[in-house]
Copies of this chain bind each other. A is one copy, B any other.
Amino acid sequence: MNLPQKVRIVEVGPRDGLQNEKQAIPTATKIQLIDMLVDSGLNYIEAGSFVNPKWVPQMADSAEVFSGITRTAGVTYAALVPNLQGYERAISVKANEIAIFAAASEAFSQKNINCSINESIKRFEPLIAAAQAQKIPVRGYISCVAGCPYSGDVDPNLVAQLAQDLLAMGCYEISLGDTIGVGTAGQIKNLITAVSQKIPIDKTAVHMHDTYGQALTNIYASLEMGVSVVDSSIAGLGGCPYAAGASGNIATEDLVYLLNGLNIAHGVNLEKLIQAGNFISNTLNKPNQSKAAQALNNKCI
């Protein structure tokens, strides 16, 4: 039991959330969402990605999004990139940080990006070299840390080794992604125990999807292990485009509600956060997936 005093929230809604929306979303809407999120106090926003628009058409306008946002001092606007070309596009529009990704499952890696895990991380070497030369921090995602939609169980030691490899390559932090939301609290604790034998706990983040209703419990279990960086998505937007039916990152509002209750500092104003979630939910004409937001919108108490 080692709850952190402070948690850094990595808001992934504008990227991991919106990329799963099928409907066209105007660039101006994405920009307004990001500005509202920053206004709520969030200081790390994954604002877009520079992948092939054939794969992720919703992110085709990320350059325009990065160019249109109102920059606030102290806020990191990050971009997900798959290769050096994507990196250069991200930097050209002044992304402050980049994120790269690898899967903890060979089957997922092959189906998702058509190469082995080792090949996938090798491909990032020139990108990381360029980032280091330009002093651009690189964050590493590992997907499928608790299970793979194609091959089932995932070995925690493989995740731990991959985390160590990505850190050794130059990533400053590793975000452990339960991409399909199958993990439960004990499994997540075992995973973090394995990972913490390879990388420091303060370089470990968690990225939990709520597919099976377990995300917040998994985050709480992670906090108990000393993890102090948590990815979340406004209004619970998102999912995984590679796992049919899988949906829902943990809602940032529900995470903030938990952290408030635990007296863990995070710097976010819940009321303004809920306004941002209501804005994007209303614009997308879908229910706000945050239960805390629903409750407070309905003035349950």
A residues near B (Cβ < 8 Å) are 1, 3, 147, 149, 152, 180-187, 210-214, 216-217, 220-221, 243-246, 248, 251, 254, 257-258, 260-263, 290-292, 295, 298-301
Q: With A185-B220, A216-B217 given, can you name 7 additional A-B contacts, CB distance below 8 Å?
A: A180-B300, A184-B261, A185-B262, A213-B251, A214-B258, A243-B300, A243-B301
Which of B147, B149, B212, B298 touches A292 (beta carbons < 8 Å)? B212
* In the bound complex, CA of A180 to CA of B296 (Å): 12
* In the bound complex, CA of A3 to CA of B183 (Å): 17
- Return 16 A-B CB contacts under 8 Å, by A number: A152-B301, A186-B263, A211-B291, A212-B257, A213-B257, A213-B290, A214-B254, A214-B257, A217-B217, A217-B258, A243-B301, A245-B298, A245-B299, A245-B300, A246-B295, A248-B291
Which of B184, B211, B251 touches A300 (beta carbons < 8 Å)? B211
Per DSSP, are chain A's interface residues mostly helix, strand or loop, or mixed?
loop
**Chain B residues positioned under 8 Å from A213 (CB to CB):** 216, 251, 254, 257, 290-292
**Chain B residues positioned under 8 Å from A300 (CB to CB):** 149, 180-181, 211, 243-246
Closest chain B residue to A292 by CB distance? B212
**Chain B residues positioned under 8 Å from A1 (CB to CB):** 1
**Chain B residues positioned under 8 Å from A246 (CB to CB):** 295, 300-301
Decide yes or no: A291 and B212 within 8 Å by CB, A217-B220, A244-B300, A300-B149 being known contacts. Answer: yes
CB proximity of A36 to chain B, nearest CB, Å: 21
CB proximity of A227 to chain B, nearest CB, Å: 15
In the complex, the answer to whether A147 meets B301 with C-beta atoms within 8 Å is yes
CB proximity of A192 to chain B, nearest CB, Å: 14
**Chain B residues positioned under 8 Å from A180 (CB to CB):** 300-301
